[in-house]
Structure 1
Amino acid sequence: MEPCTPRRGLLTLAIETSCDDTCVAILEKQKSGFARLHFNEKITSDNRAFRGVHPLVAVASHSENLAPLVQKALRSLPSPVGIRPSQDVNSDGQTILVDGRPRLRPDFISVTRGPGMASNLATGLNHAKGLAVAWDVPLLAVNHMQAHALTPRLVSALEAEKLAFKPKNEEDASSQQPQSPQFPFLSLLVSGGHTMLVHSKSLNDHAILAESINIAVGDMIDKCARLIIPSDILSADTSDSGAYGPIFEEFAFPGSTESASYDYNYTPPARRADEIKRFDSGQGWVLTPPLHLKGMGEEAASQFEFAGLNGHVQKLITLRSDMDVDSRRVLARATMTLVFEHLTTRLVFALQSNNNKSRKRNKIGTVVLSGGVASNKFLRHVVRKLLDARGLTDIEVIAPPVALCTDNAAMIAWTAMEMYEDGWRSDLDILTMRKWPLDPKAEGGGILDASGWYRVPMPKE
């Protein structure tokens, strides 16, 4: 069994192929906790003809683009210090040749194992296994949703490195800086395939407090966008992804995506009665908030529901197919408002419930917004405004940069870094996991209940 030997820094190459994005990253992390992203790129399959992700098109895109993207990434590996190209760079096993030049060999390979589309995941996992065998390094196959939850910790490490930290002495340089946010914290993980409120207690201990009982919020937004946005605006879009969330946001609030101080003219609901109040357009139609007939007990607070509102919008557009652009924009804003308030009210309940019961060290002080939908600026605005309206002004709300909200390999690299430093490794015979719960209490168990993990002895400090 390979020992976990101490060193100043760690280097990994990461692959993410859980859906339609082919992603590769190279991340370096110092023992101090600071990180540097040497490479982070992705190629998204062209799904426009299908108005959504087509599995066969996505897996073909992975097969076509992953190897060239890995080859491109290798050119960004750090160069070893003090070694000339003419030297035998493989004599110490720590370097590889890339385009005839010596580069540092990654210490391990990171990859997404699940959850996601099985064939897509397999493309990335098989590439990762091949690299791990070729370079004789460990494999770390991680949980995609765990990576979304930990993304703000990656961001804090990258930002710390950008501050050009200069240690006063060697002891300062080797001391571990605490990652932010520190456990425990809550994560609202919102994407096209997942909607869940997660209580992250530690690296591998994540309890699901609420999740969707039907479709995911990102899926619902995409469906509503295709119904509400006029076809000429959709056809003019140049996006290759087939994801309509960003177009929907800009259509609902023109100019908001480019403005740092956009005025949404939004007033949060002050009470439960306001939360469940129907939206009256004044144009002869209304929208009903999700789960408006349920109270806010523990059962209702553990559920997100989006199919009902999606069906209501579909019926409304069918009956009013001649709705003009201004009316469609009102509908888009109302739909987005009801959806985001529905998400946030469950978050408010969880914060109040936990912090009323917990001792000081277990109180939640940070909320993480992550996943593709978290890139929506109006969602961030609604969460902050509603928390403030309910007296939760001291809760910090963190959302990664847009590029790190959507699927990316950098978050996979970071999660693998944390797992690696905790001693975890993955067997080479593991298979993909289409479903892989975060919560240890869920059916099938949590992160560490998956087969194929082993742990190496940790070095003594």
Structure 2
Amino acid sequence: MLYDDALSSLIGIGVSQMLVLGIETTCDETAAAVVLRNQDGEGEILSNIVLSQIAEHAAYGGVVPEIAARAHAEMVDHVIERAMDEAGIRFDKLDAIAAAAGPGLIGGVIVGLTTGKALALALNRPLVAVNHLEAHALTPRLTDHVAFPYLLLLASGGHTQLVAVRGLGDYVRLGTTIDDAIGEAFDKTAKMLGLGYPGGPAVEAQAMSGDATRFAFPRPMQGRPEPNFSLSGLKTAVRLEAERHAPLAAKDVRDLCASFQAAVVDMVVDRTRVGLRRFRDAAGQPTALVVAGGVAANRAIRRGLQRLGSEVGLRLVMPPVALCTDNGAMIAWAGAERLAAGMTDGLDFSPRARWPLDPNAPGSGKGTGAKAVGLKEARA
């Protein structure tokens, strides 16, 4: 059976459930997972294998694209095999192959998408080319059965956005960062203070025993009517204080981290509150406030958003930490959601370094993203 004929036979036949293999290689995690989606729209993760490259990149203070692409090429087959073994599923039982096709480091994206295409062709199964950002956006529908529409705060090393998720493939970007992403700011602050990589967990660990009131850092954009973010000025303020108190004692580092993190939390809560007001104009009443992306693992940010949710009477949904960072389960689930809606892609689908959720947002450009993922964006 030809590939196109296989698509026609598998899509739109009202199957009671579907099994989808998801492949993720957009940054520095080689990941694969198998997810089951039933006819009622509920999902179950049968396996979720993530192989991190942190050790390979730690010496450089961030992700080196060439090293990442080589590691993906070496390990992706092994990771997929482990995911299939853990799920207890034969390849011929899969209903579709989902692969992250961007945005991300283009070498890694090519590895994962090419592997997905090869499997789809060999198995005569549909290919779903998944937007990595959409996968983050749809994860709460897997973990918490969140109904559309909802407000998404997507915060990671490469992306900081507030998005109205109105439906599958229907996204309105309400706000974004005008300079650095939140995760990038954590990484660079950690590097300034000699805490190593990845920076987010290191800064959070130091902040736990620090004095968050010692340094009066700015709260960028606070009070502005547009729900945008800015981190460059805050990073500069941390650097100036660090230089002023050099050489830094252990207590200085803890207090700098605590004060920096407190400023980020205040900014995130303020910007999200403004985003909620903008949401109602774009999509009506949200069913939930969702936070996703690697930065969503930060407990202080989670607590701040929990307080905001209680204040405005809105449920806060935060996927488990393992599903906030890059993983194959979110790719498989996004693929299953799109497959159920009859959305598949041809084998000629091209990998994308840029791929915005909202192509009509200012600065996005048609079919591109506002910001490419590059070397400085250590976590996507």
- Per the TM superposition, whether the score is higher than 0.5 is yes
Q: How big is each residue's C-alpha offset from its partner over 1:342-378, in whole Å with a ceiling of 9 and x where there is no partner?
A: 12211111223444x58xx931231001000001111
State the AA in 2 paired with 1:58. A
Structure 2 CA distance for partners of 1:353 and 1:197, relative to 1, 3 Å? closer
Equivalent-residue separation in structure 2 for 1:144 and 1:12 (angstroms): 16
Equivalent-residue separation in structure 2 for 1:30 and 1:135 (angstroms): 21
Q: How many pairs does the alignment contain?
A: 356
Asked if the contact 2:147–2:287 (Cα under 8 Å) also holds between the matched residues in 1, the reply is no
SS at match of 2:344: strand
| 1:370 has 2:325 as partner | no
How far 1:441 sits from its partner (Å)? Answer: 1.4
Q: Match of 2:133?
A: 145
SS at match of 1:287: coil
Match of 2:159 among 165, 183, 194: 194
Q: How big is each residue's C-alpha offset from its partner over 1:40-71, in whole Å with a ceiling of 9 and x where there is no partner?
A: 11111121110111111111110111111122
SS at match of 2:147: coil
Asked if the contact 1:191–1:371 (Cα under 8 Å) also holds between the matched residues in 2, the reply is yes
How far 1:250 sits from its partner (Å)? Answer: 1.3
Asked if the contact 1:146–1:415 (Cα under 8 Å) also holds between the matched residues in 2, the reply is yes
Asked if the contact 1:348–1:387 (Cα under 8 Å) also holds between the matched residues in 2, the reply is no
Equivalent-residue separation in structure 2 for 1:76 and 1:334 (angstroms): 43
How far 1:332 sits from its partner (Å)? Answer: 0.9
Q: Match of 2:69?
A: 59
Q: Match of 2:32?
A: 24
Structure showing greater Rg: 1
Q: How big is each residue's C-alpha offset from its partner over 1:105-130, in whole Å with a ceiling of 9 and x where there is no partner?
A: 21110000111011110000111111
Q: Match of 2:374?
A: none
Q: Match of 1:239?
A: none
Equivalent-residue separation in structure 2 for 1:402 and 1:47 (angstroms): 22
Structure 2 CA distance for partners of 1:334 and 1:57, relative to 1, 3 Å? same
Match of 1:217 among 172, 182, 198: 182
Match of 2:51 among 29, 43, 53: 43
Equivalent-residue separation in structure 1 for 2:59 and 2:278 (angstroms): 46
SS at match of 1:434: coil
Q: Which moved more, 1:27-36 or 1:304-313?
A: 27-36
Q: Match of 1:398?
A: 317
Q: How big is each residue's C-alpha offset from its partner over 1:306-344, in whole Å with a ceiling of 9 and x where there is no partner?
A: 011111211221222223222321221111111121122
Q: Match of 1:316?
A: 241
Q: Match of 1:75?
A: 85
How far 1:446 sits from its partner (Å)? Answer: 6.4
Equivalent-residue separation in structure 2 for 1:417 and 1:331 (angstroms): 44
Match of 2:349 among 425, 430, 442: 430
SS at match of 2:86: coil
Q: Match of 2:339?
A: 420
SS at match of 2:165: strand
Q: Match of 2:23?
A: 15
| 1:287 has 2:217 as partner | yes
Structure 2 CA distance for partners of 1:75 and 1:280, relative to 1, 3 Å? closer
Using the aligned pairs only, state the percent identity. 32
Structure 1 gaps of 5+ residues are 80-94, 97-103, 157-179, 236-241, 255-263, 266-278, 448-461
Matches within 5 A, 1:29-428: 29-45=37-53, 46-78=56-88, 104-156=92-144, 180-228=145-193, 231=194, 234=195, 242-254=197-209, 281=214, 286-291=216-221, 295-297=223-225, 301-355=226-280, 362-388=284-310, 391-392=311-312, 394-428=313-347
How far 1:72 sits from its partner (Å)? Answer: 2.0
Q: How big is each residue's C-alpha offset from its partner over 1:64-93, in whole Å with a ceiling of 9 and x where there is no partner?
A: 1111112222323445xxxxxxxxxxxxxx
How far 1:386 sits from its partner (Å)? Answer: 3.9
Q: How big is each residue's C-alpha offset from its partner over 1:203-225, in whole Å with a ceiling of 9 and x where there is no partner?
A: 11110111011111100011112
Asked if the contact 1:439–1:446 (Cα under 8 Å) also holds between the matched residues in 2, the reply is no
Asked if the contact 2:154–2:160 (Cα under 8 Å) also holds between the matched residues in 1, the reply is yes
The structure where helix makes up a greater share of residues is 2
SS at match of 1:428: coil
TM-score scaled to structure 2, two decimals? 0.88
Structure 1 vs Structure 2 CA RMSD: 2.2
Equivalent-residue separation in structure 1 for 2:34 and 2:112 (angstroms): 15
Equivalent-residue separation in structure 2 for 1:77 and 1:380 (angstroms): 31
How far 1:387 sits from its partner (Å)? Answer: 4.6
State the AA in 1 paired with 2:289. V
Structure 2 CA distance for partners of 1:280 and 1:111, relative to 1, 3 Å? same
Asked if the contact 1:205–1:440 (Cα under 8 Å) also holds between the matched residues in 2, the reply is no
SS at match of 1:188: strand
Q: How big is each residue's C-alpha offset from its partner over 1:9-51, in whole Å with a ceiling of 9 and x where there is no partner?
A: 1011110000010001111122233322221111111211101
The list of structure 1 runs, each at least 4 consecutive aligned residues, that deviate by more than 6 angstroms after superposition, is none
SS at match of 2:174: strand
State the AA in 1 paired with 2:175. A
